[in-house]
Structure 1
Amino acid sequence: MSDASYWSIFINACLINNFVLAYFLGICPFLGVSGKRDTALRMGAAVTFVMLVSSMAAFGIHALLQWVDAPYLELISFIAVIASTVQLVEMFIKKMSPALFKALGIFLPLITTNCAILAVALFQTNRGYGFLQSIVFALGAGVGFTLALVLMAGLREKLELAKTPEMVKGTAITLILAGLLSVCFMGFAGLFN
């Protein structure tokens, strides 16, 4: 078990080593769903929920597979849990908010292949986190993911009102903004050493 405090685990996952802006994991929904703040916030909430559920399941799976001496089954087990959780979230959103389901489009089922979610499960087991530490780590990663999506969505909404040269409109300016956000988040690197 790691001796890191819950607060440092949360801040580390949320700001210092943000999965999107530091590790560049989960870029597909980051670029695809960050057009509107409302959609970005809801996508972030869905990803955070999947991260929390898969983190708890990954902790149990890791312990079970270590006990039966079958650690080689971890990766495929993590992927199965993530896919199942995403299917449940997709059915829930489709039933409760058809408009949100339509707004998220293809990016909702793509949560299954979001490497940030698999990274949470793999990082927590490799770091030796306990159960509560794993939950805090997943929550921090989810909040950081949501923060990155909402910040990018806010910037893109403001950019629609700005005069930008034709050469950089669209994908080019979006990638420039993503790079600038990433550089800004590098400023958190010295928070917890």
Structure 2
Amino acid sequence: MPEINPIVILFASIFTSNMVLANFLGMCSFIAVSKEIKTSIGLGQAVTFVLTGTTIINYFIYHYILIPFGLEYLRFIVFIITIAAFVQLVEMIIERYLPSLYYSLGIFLPLITVNCAILGVSLFMVIRDYSFIQSLSFGLGSGLGWALAILAMSGIRKKLERAPIPKGLQGPGITLIITGLMALAFIGFSGIVRIQ
């Protein structure tokens, strides 16, 4: 199988293989935080930073520690520990330098640790046997794709505040319908480029 260009991986992970809209990973914080545009931007940036950083760290841990010592079976535990430590660092930095964002994100900032999109990117990197540059592109693209999706969702939800939505669909109902429609729109790009 020919090696996939890192630029192709970057754009595919933003659009056609979007973590939240194609794989439906990271839905909990996506739906809960997408009510406000400012909060969505902040969480999108935090998720992008965490995804990129943990993908790089987990690549080196997997290839230079776990494989040489025959400990590949520990990847789930090690990846989760790495993600938790990295998120804790990001949380402390945001609390120190951006306190208003820290309080607006609330519980969802530490919950980035258990955002399945973060772990999913590290596991896909291993399963697909990506090189370092490919892994970096995949982590960055997945973060940007997640941020793009939550920003689009928050913009749509802001517009829907004044729309006449039936009472039974208000809140999570209309949000899930919009998510499905957004997923269809993003998958429409799959003829251009797709990664498996």
TM-score by length of 1: 0.96
Q: Deviations over 1:91-125 (max 9, x none)?
A: 11111111111110111110000000001101011
2:68: which partner in 1?
67
- Following superposition, the deviation at residue 36 of structure 1 comes to 1.3
Amino acid at match of 1:12: A
Amino acid at match of 2:17: N
Any conservation in 2 of the 1:2–1:128 contact (CA below 8 Å)? Answer: no
- Following superposition, the deviation at residue 2 of structure 1 comes to 6.8
In 1, distance between residues paired with 2:109 and 2:46?
Answer: 8
Amino acid at match of 1:74: R
Q: How does 1:125-144 map to 2 (within 5 A)?
A: 125-144=126-145
- Following superposition, the deviation at residue 40 of structure 1 comes to 0.5
Any conservation in 2 of the 1:2–1:130 contact (CA below 8 Å)? Answer: no
1:15: which partner in 2?
15
- Following superposition, the deviation at residue 155 of structure 1 comes to 0.2
- Following superposition, the deviation at residue 52 of structure 1 comes to 1.0
Number of corresponding residues:
193
Q: Deviations over 1:37-88 (max 9, x none)?
A: 1111110110111111110111111112111111111111100000000001
2:25: which partner in 1?
25
**1:44 is aligned to 2:81:** no
Decide which moves more: 68-77 or 145-154: 68-77
Q: How does 1:42-191 map to 2 (within 5 A)?
A: 42-63=42-63, 64-191=65-192
Gaps of 5+ in 2: none
SS in 2 for 1:161: coil
Amino acid at match of 1:40: S
In 1, distance between residues paired with 2:92 and 2:159?
Answer: 33
In 1, distance between residues paired with 2:46 and 2:185?
Answer: 25
Any conservation in 2 of the 1:21–1:148 contact (CA below 8 Å)? Answer: yes
Alpha-carbon RMSD across the aligned residues, in angstroms, is 1.3
In 1, distance between residues paired with 2:2 and 2:127?
Answer: 10
In 1, distance between residues paired with 2:107 and 2:131?
Answer: 34
Any conservation in 2 of the 1:2–1:129 contact (CA below 8 Å)? Answer: no
Amino acid at match of 1:36: E
In 1, distance between residues paired with 2:189 and 2:169?
Answer: 29
Any conservation in 2 of the 1:13–1:140 contact (CA below 8 Å)? Answer: yes
SS in 2 for 1:179: helix
C-alpha distance 2-71 of structure 1, shift in aligned 2 (>3 A) = farther
In 1, distance between residues paired with 2:90 and 2:7?
Answer: 28
- Following superposition, the deviation at residue 163 of structure 1 comes to 2.1
Any conservation in 2 of the 1:56–1:134 contact (CA below 8 Å)? Answer: yes
Gaps of 5+ in 1: none
SS in 1 for 2:15: helix
